[in-house]
Structure 1
Amino acid sequence: MTNFIPTTAPFSEDQRAWLNGFFAGLTGMQTEGDPAATIQALGIDAGAAVAEPEPEEDFPWRDASLPIVERIELAEGRPPERKLMAAMAQLDCGSCGYVCQTYSEAIARGEETNLTLCSPGGKETKQMLKKILAESKDADGAPSGQMGSGNAGPSNGVAAARNGKAAQWSRNNPFSAKMIESRELNLEGSAKDTRHVVIDLTGSGLKYNVGDALGVLPSNCPDLAMKLIESIAADSQITVSTPTGDTKTLLQALCEDYCLKDPSDELLELLAGRIQDESAQETLGRMLEDGVPDGFDVLDVLEVTKGVTVTATEVIETLDPLNPRLYSIASSMKRVGDQVHLTVGKVVYEREGRVRKGVASTMLSDRVGAGETVRVFVQPNHAGFTVPENLETPIIMVGPGTGIAPFVSFLQERAESKSPGNNWLFFGDQHEAFDFLYREELEEYHANGLLTRLDTAFSRDGERKVYVQDRMREQAAEMWQWLESGAAFYVCGDASRMARDVDKALHDIAETAGGLSAEEAAAYVKNLAQSGRYHRDVY
């Protein structure tokens, strides 16, 4: 194959191979083609292509465990795009369609106006982004970002190109895929409802690698949308314009296009300017100053200001867009073909006398039946979270709860590839009898030797709560041997607690089993990450 991308260009071998293949297919040229002519024909600056990479910039805030205030302090004195980057969750999870750096740079350039895309950062990140943009505008008069539908981000173009004939499918133009099943994984007696969701990609041309995520465009519960419409005494069938310029009924727009979970400052300000009740005004003022309480949604705010006169158009203009949800893929295409499997934890709880529902999780578990469609796209993993290229490399996987999802795909991939490398899985949940997700499949892998080790931690089965990080410490000596033999370490799941506790356990193992000082252990773990042997898919 013709090498369109020079070996001096700042790409990895995999990236260079993919780009060479892409340009070869794009131009239709054979191996006898002239790379220089091709580069010229494509309008690529050959000088730029061979330029030496810039020295790596120091990003001291690149630590997901640091509170956002500390990250912002570390970015003090940096340009606005770096302060915006420090406000991101630092996970490079791809849920925004970018990575942290490119999302912040797109906002700073004014190319991306949606400030709600960092789902791991949530309200905290959104509020900080707005503050940084406002300060930047005050400082130099440059326009600040505005809420809106935004664009899909550069990573969707990469995903589309990689998928060849599936280039048309992206978060802005998702594929309507048929649901095959949504099967309960927990057994009767469990306090949880976790689903194994199977979706048919036949006809889409979509391809994914293990470690990638599936983007799902959710829809709100129609009952919630109707309650909101009733609270402002509007007609559900009136016509409104959506952020993308489409025309829909009010009910359809609220179901498909707007976030009904987190009230925006713009909504609070609109209602505060209309309500006459002093108590309600004080409540809204506290929310504007201190933030909206956790679990407080748009309908809650409208109920606080019941009787206020606002139009449907005024309300929806203040609402944030309804963003896609990303789910770690729980299957290998080598095993399942044109299907994609997900592990989805259904979210339902009661607050203030009203049942609250997770938007995407209840859609996938309750509101979409077999044979009906869901809108999806593939989101490639940006951080190297996939099985090692070297099939002999041992891997250690830590995935409690729904964090098991990518490791199901890893094991399927290793089985289908007949990888000789050892595999060690740590799985945890509440009760072994009810919550041992994928038990039969995992125990079969353990019995046939694919899973070299399977360690479990069921926190509610004993007098003392035991978690995956406790099992890691119990096996510290053997874990250290695996790491020293070149094992890659992966963790998937909750970022705020579990991933942090697992990281602490990893440091402790380096000290206790490796005999390192605290400083040496920190350097050792850092080197694992820098050398591509420590990967996290956390949310």
Structure 2
Amino acid sequence: MNATQPALTAPPGLGEERQALLRQLVDGLEPAQLYWIAAYAAQQAAHPAARPVPASAVRLTVLYGSQTGNARRVAERFAAEAEANGLPVRLLRAGAYPVRELADERYLAVVVSTQGEGEPPDDARGFVEFLASRRAPKLPKLHYAVLGLGDSSYPLFNAMGRSVDARLAELGAQRLAPLAEADVDIEPVAGPWTEGALALVREKLTRELPTASVTPLRAAPTRPQFHRDRPFPAPVLANQRIVSRHADRDVRHVELSLEGSGLRYAPGDALGVWHRNPRVLVDTFLAVAGLDGDTETVHDGKTQPLREWLARERELTRLSRPLVQAVAARADSAELRIALERPEALKELFDSHQPIDLLRAHPADWDADGLVAALRPLTPRLYSIASSPQAVGEDEVHLTLAVVDYHAHGERHLGAASRWIADADEDATLDVFIEPNERFRLPADGARDVIMIGPGTGVAPFRAFVQARQQAGGTGRNWLVFGNRHVADDFLYQVEWQQALKDRALHRLDVAFSRDQAEKRYVQHVLRERGAELYDWLSGGAHLYVCGDAAQMAKDVHAALADIVATHGGKSPEAAQAWLSERLQDGRYARDVY
């Protein structure tokens, strides 16, 4: 069981043997599965004659594919409200769904996000691939509803939601409700979709259920005291630069106190941070737009000074399609209208410009209400946690982050959250919450070998992994592959890794410093050089983890892994890709990329 869970006293009559069986049953299960077991046990106690719902029975199945936790949260709420309405429900991560049951499903709700270049989240990849394959069954009996979650700062906005919705229809399923597509401001779309889809499901499903079956299976879940919508003000314990003064980037190690919050985390989880936009960026926005920060501004029924909207509630460093559309309209820009019609041009724009660049390049007559409406809502930033509670204590959490600060288009550009955190001194607090990441967990079996690939700040969760493995005293080997620019300037946590090697908490360390030689060398080059040994570890059951940049690093690493499996496993390129896909599905290959 998770080491962060409190010990429970066994009830009377539950002997040692049954306790052992119970521990064996729940080991490795996800929260939603544990929750179902608890609710089912409670139902059996209240209704001894009740029986489990057969796989082919009439019920609502709710699937989610989530990369950052948003789709999981929406799906959990949807399932809880369905049960509160008396419907039999099962809630599953898409990667845990037994696809052989799809042919017999009658009612299905899918909440799926899109990541990167129109790709599925890792925990839904297998389901999406099955659905698109020739093995997918015809689905004339199925009624379904799909909610897609996306980010309009990516050209292929909500590609997965659209793909799943279209494919289910192509297989003969009937839409209960039209596809709904949410941007980063999820609730305005998710709320009405939940309400409408549930009403339609209840209307149809209850006609097929015996009256006795229409009873809630579980109570609505209780939220912790502090969560995404009510963050905890965590005092800053330490905030230090961990690269040399000559390094071309500022990287910080930050320690925060969680004392009194009740928040608990496990290695692999993320810490969400709600930030304020830097004052200098807000002032620049006001100057470029020609607006007064004290102007009372109304949006969605809320009135406050424009400066407060820009500082606390609007996204100022990330472009979105609606903002490009608004600027194109106000500035009457043919260039932007053309970019909106060409995905590659739009992607290039998103990759190279911040919102302030767009406003400078395409001057327009802005009013305060219009500017706030055009900018998308501020969202929290998620940082992979760089500590294990077993090592630093449950009331402390550590982060590793690079401070965004660069020049482009003749101007200095600052990160929003990274600058906010870097400027926090030891008298400050940061508003935080825990974002669980069940897909990115250490194996329950401490004898398993672990391979960790984390260039740059992607090494953060592996600091937590090594700490946890050392505290647990497992016998499995730990191999870290780390990369950065210069060994002398930004070898993050170098002293800790060297000590871990001495203590045998780390059994192997390979590094790639890209700019210490004429030809750049990255972690994927190290992997290919160590291909035979890497495949030997993997074929022996090792778990593989990758953390860091999704745009390029994760793709290059995946391509290197496919080549290694093909070369050293004697497989065709297609078989090697299939082998890696299987590892993604069985949890032995996990990625935390952003």
Q: TM-score range by the shorter chain?
A: 0.7 to 0.9
Residues 197 and 535 of structure 1, relative CA distance in 2, 3 Å threshold? same
Letter of the 2:334 partner, please give it: E
- Classify the secondary structure of the residue corresponding to 1:303: helix
What's the counterpart of residue 378 of structure 2? Answer: 322
Residues 188 and 293 of structure 1, relative CA distance in 2, 3 Å threshold? same
Give the counterpart of 1:36 among 44, 51, 60.
44
Question: Is the 1:214–1:326 contact (alpha carbons within 8 Å) kept by the matching residues of 2?
Answer: yes
What's the counterpart of residue 468 of structure 1? Answer: 523
- Classify the secondary structure of the residue corresponding to 2:569: coil
Give the counterpart of 1:522 among 566, 577, 583.
577
What's the counterpart of residue 463 of structure 2? Answer: 408
Give the counterpart of 2:241 among 180, 184, 192.
184
Residues 476 and 148 of structure 1, relative CA distance in 2, 3 Å threshold? closer
Question: Is the 1:186–1:437 contact (alpha carbons within 8 Å) kept by the matching residues of 2?
Answer: yes
- Classify the secondary structure of the residue corresponding to 2:272: strand
- Classify the secondary structure of the residue corresponding to 1:216: strand
Kindly report structure 1 stretches of 4+ aligned residues shifted beyond 4 Å: 16-24, 37-40, 45-50, 79-88, 108-112, 127-133, 139-148, 263-275
Which structure 2 residues correspond to residues 295-444 of structure 1 after superposition, within 5 A? Answer: 295-306=352-363, 308-337=364-393, 338-366=395-423, 368-383=424-439, 385-444=440-499
Identity %: 33
Residues 273 and 328 of structure 1, relative CA distance in 2, 3 Å threshold? closer
Cα distance in 1 for residues equivalent to 2:443 and 2:162: 41
5+ residue gaps, structure 2 = 1-9, 15-20, 68-107, 130-143, 168-174, 192-217
Residues 130 and 248 of structure 1, relative CA distance in 2, 3 Å threshold? farther
Which structure 2 residues correspond to residues 23-172 of structure 1 after superposition, within 5 A? Answer: 35-38=43-46, 51=55, 88-92=118-122, 115-116=150-151, 122-126=153-157, 145=181, 149-151=185-187, 167-172=224-229
1:534 maps onto 2:548 in alignment: no
Letter of the 1:357 partner, please give it: L
Give the counterpart of 1:500 among 555, 571, 574.
555
Task: Give the structure with the higher percent strand.
Answer: 2
Q: C-alpha displacement at 1:295, in angstroms? A: 3.2
Cα distance in 2 for residues equivalent to 1:418 and 1:399: 23
Give the counterpart of 1:196 among 231, 253, 263.
253
Q: Which moved further from structure 2: 522-531 or 312-321?
A: 522-531
Q: C-alpha displacement at 1:405, in angstroms? A: 0.6
What's the counterpart of residue 316 of structure 2? Answer: 260
- Classify the secondary structure of the residue corresponding to 2:351: coil
Question: Is the 1:166–1:206 contact (alpha carbons within 8 Å) kept by the matching residues of 2?
Answer: no
What's the counterpart of residue 512 of structure 2? Answer: 457
Cα distance in 2 for residues equivalent to 1:411 and 1:499: 21
Question: Is the 1:242–1:257 contact (alpha carbons within 8 Å) kept by the matching residues of 2?
Answer: no
Letter of the 1:386 partner, please give it: R
Q: C-alpha displacement at 1:508, in angstroms? A: 2.5
The alignment's TM-score, normalised by the length of structure 2, stands at 0.68
Cα distance in 2 for residues equivalent to 1:204 and 1:430: 38
Count, aligned residues: 471
Question: Is the 1:218–1:324 contact (alpha carbons within 8 Å) kept by the matching residues of 2?
Answer: yes
- Classify the secondary structure of the residue corresponding to 1:349: strand
Question: Is the 1:83–1:132 contact (alpha carbons within 8 Å) kept by the matching residues of 2?
Answer: no
Residues 348 and 171 of structure 1, relative CA distance in 2, 3 Å threshold? same
5+ residue gaps, structure 1 = 28-32, 64-78, 102-107, 155-160
Residues 93 and 311 of structure 1, relative CA distance in 2, 3 Å threshold? farther
Cα distance in 1 for residues equivalent to 2:593 and 2:492: 19
What's the counterpart of residue 158 of structure 1? Answer: none
Letter of the 2:282 partner, please give it: A
Q: C-alpha displacement at 1:296, in angstroms? A: 2.4
Cα distance in 2 for residues equivalent to 1:274 and 1:534: 47
Letter of the 1:442 partner, please give it: W
Q: CA RMSD in A?
A: 4.3
